[in-house]
Amino acid sequence: MKLNPSKDFLLVTGGCGYIGSHTTVVLQKAGFQVLILDNLKNSKPKVLSRIQEITGQRPEFVEGDIRDAKGLEALFQKYRVSACLHFAGLKAVGESVEQPLNYYENNVQGSLQLFKAMKEAGVKRLVFSSSATVYGQPKSLPLSESASRQAENPYGQTKLMIEHILEDLCRSDLDWSVMSLRYFNPVGAHPSGMIGEDPLGIPNNLMPYISQVAVGRRKKLQVFGNDYPTSDGTGIRDYIHVMDLAEGHLAALRAAFESTGFQALNLGTGKAASVLELVQAFEQASGVKIDYEIVQRRPGDIAECWADPRLAREKLNWSCQRGLIEMCADSWNWQQKNPQGYD
Ligand code: NAD
Ligand code: UFG
């Protein structure tokens, strides 16, 4: 099947969320028609008009749930879909420990319903939002795709289970083409400041926490531990600009039409930054001082994690173009223009 940008729809599940909305912009700019399916559990419908302001085109939108088999059947009957980019899922590690059944039901059961509906409709191209969390505690760094997988919390288990399901599916039917993209730490926002990350309640992740401190919504950042065996004692991660990530999805989609089978790929920069380095970069990009205090380690956190990004470069002809300062500048631009997020 050939990829036909303007004719068929790309189904983007979870397209109102942080990464799905940025990817929708990139797909539309590349000439694709996007159909978003989202239950708005962790997003706001306002994102649709923001996407329209950026691209000049409002994506088609169905408010619905990936667990709803009948709804999915109706969607595939109504729209001609050529491929799916599957972002929909719950993603908070701590919450997944407290509510494992919700996480398995939403992420695993929901994905199964989606894959069954795709199969029924003959749609066999998929780009899946996996996570570096599937590697668990790294045994060596950088992490390559062949590293052993070991999830350490229910959220990570759901990603790992979905990867296994997709591997089995691709083995059972050689027409399927699946790109499982293992994201490292997505941060930043569209340079327009029209769309960005808008977590509900207290942010779990570092960058939204820092930008809410900068804008005055929170008093100070708590740095979770400075006694790790790292350069400055704080945790080290591989931060990737969400626009680089979104462009990675476009490249993966194209690759999914040129190959079959299951392919896991790291989407990361291959560069490591500590918590304090990110704080410093943010201060430099924004000109705002970030108050912080060192507190206990967060249970379950790993010391360091960064990607070997070479396989994605080779398979997708894609690599990250944006550095730490640009990630911070774009996060700050979004936060300044939208101090309360989409509200
Ligand atoms: P997000 O919460 O902003 O977006 C997810 C979207 O999916 C939301 O709009 C939510 O309303 C929707 N959704 C959730 N369950 C649904 C369901 N059952 N039916 C329909 N819609 C549903 O999250 P994000 O940061 O954009 O992440 C997107 C994907 O990438 C997720 O699968 C996440 O696990 C994965 N991921 C994210 C990160 C990260 O740090 N942000 C890292 C690795 C992987
Ligand atoms: N951190 C702080 N203070 C905060 C928040 C985070 O010091 O308020 C530290 C953490 O201890 C860690 C680093 O900042 O050292 C990054 O933490 P994040 O919560 O931003 O990101 P994680 O690497 O812990 O987790 C993220 C996603 C997971 C995903 C994982 C791997 O939240 O869903 O990346 O992709 F599984």
CATH number, domain with residue 117: 3.40.50.720
Nearest ligand atom owner, CA of 211: 2
∠ CA 247-130-68, nearest 5°, is 105
Q: Say if 211 falls within a structural domain.
A: no
Q: Which residues are paired to 127 by β-bridges? A: 85, 179
CA dihedral 301, 212, 38, 102 (to 10 degrees): 40
pLDDT reported for residue 170: 98
For a substitution probing ligand 1, which of 87, 114, 206, 243 has the most ligand atoms within 8 Å of its CB? Answer: 87
- DSSP E strand boundaries for 33-136: 33-38, 60-63, 81-86, 125-131
18, 155, 209, 239: which one is catalytic? 155
Which run of H or E residues covers position 4?
none
Where does residue 246 fall: left (phi above 0), alpha (psi -120 to 50 degrees), or beta otherwise?
Answer: alpha
Q: Is 160 in the pocket of ligand 2 (CB under 6 A)?
A: no
| Residue nearest ligand 1's atom 3 by CA | 17
User: Which residues span the domain enclosing 261?
Assistant: 9-188+239-268
List the structure tokens of 4.
């036909």
CA of residue 230 to ligand 1 center, whole Å: 30
Q: Is 142 in the pocket of ligand 1 (CB under 6 A)?
A: no
Environment class of 297 (CB within 10 Å of its CB; exposed 0-12, middle 13-18, buried 19+): middle
Concatenate the DSSP letters of all residues of 227-272 into one string.
Answer: -SSSSSSS-EE-EEEHHHHHHHHHHHHHHHTT--EEEEEEES-S--
Q: Is 155 in the pocket of ligand 1 (CB under 6 A)?
A: no
The one-digit pLDDT tens for each residue of the chain (343 residues) are 667 776 789 999 999 999 999 999 999 999 999 999 999 999 999 999 999 999 999 999 999 999 999 999 999 999 999 999 999 999 999 999 999 999 999 999 999 999 999 999 999 999 999 999 999 999 999 999 999 999 999 999 999 999 999 999 999 999 999 999 999 999 999 999 999 999 999 999 999 999 999 999 999 999 999 999 999 999 999 999 999 999 999 999 999 999 999 999 999 999 999 999 999 999 999 999 999 999 999 988 999 999 999 999 999 999 999 999 999 999 999 999 999 999 8
| Residue nearest ligand 1's atom 6 by CA | 14
For a substitution probing ligand 1, which of 129, 159, 187 has the most ligand atoms within 8 Å of its CB? Answer: 129
Q: Say if 281 falls within a structural domain.
A: no
Predicted TM-score (pTM) above 0.75: yes
pLDDT tens per residue, range 146-198: 999 999 999 999 999 999 999 999 999 999 999 999 999 999 999 999 999 99
| Phi and psi, residue 338, nearest 5° | -135, 70
Q: Is 42 helix (H, G, I), strand (E, B) or coil?
A: coil
Annotated catalytic residue 342: no
pLDDT tens per residue, range 253-287: 999 999 999 999 999 999 999 999 999 999 999 99
| Residue given tokens 């691209």 in the structure block | 55
Q: Say if 337 falls within a structural domain.
A: no
CA of residue 334 to ligand 1 center, whole Å: 19
Nearest ligand atom owner, CA of 238: 2
Q: Say if 98 falls within a structural domain.
A: yes
What is the dihedral sign for C-alpha 247, 257, 270, 275?
Answer: positive
For a substitution probing ligand 2, which of 298, 304, 306, 331 has the most ligand atoms within 8 Å of its CB? Answer: 298
Q: Say if 51 falls within a structural domain.
A: yes
pLDDT reported for residue 1: 63
In the chain the first and final C-alpha atoms are separated, in Å, by: 42
- The answer to whether residues 285 and 329 touch, using CB atoms and an 8 Å cutoff, is yes
pLDDT reported for residue 300: 87
Q: Is 204 in the pocket of ligand 2 (CB under 6 A)?
A: yes
Structurally, how many domains does the chain consist of? 1
pLDDT reported for residue 5: 73
Q: Say if 133 falls within a structural domain.
A: yes
For 146, residues 6+ apart whose C-beta sits below 8 A from its C-beta are none
Q: Say if 198 falls within a structural domain.
A: no
Q: Say if 302 falls within a structural domain.
A: no
Give the Å distances, CA to CA, from 20 to 178, 243, 272.
17, 11, 25
CA distance 71 to 54: 29
CA of residue 126 to ligand 1 center, whole Å: 16
| Residue nearest ligand 2's atom 18 by CA | 205
| Cβ neighbours of 231 (radius 10 Å) | 12
Of the candidates 207, 205, 211, the one whose C-alpha atom is nearest the C-alpha of residue 301 is 205
Q: Which residues are paired to 57 by β-bridges? A: none
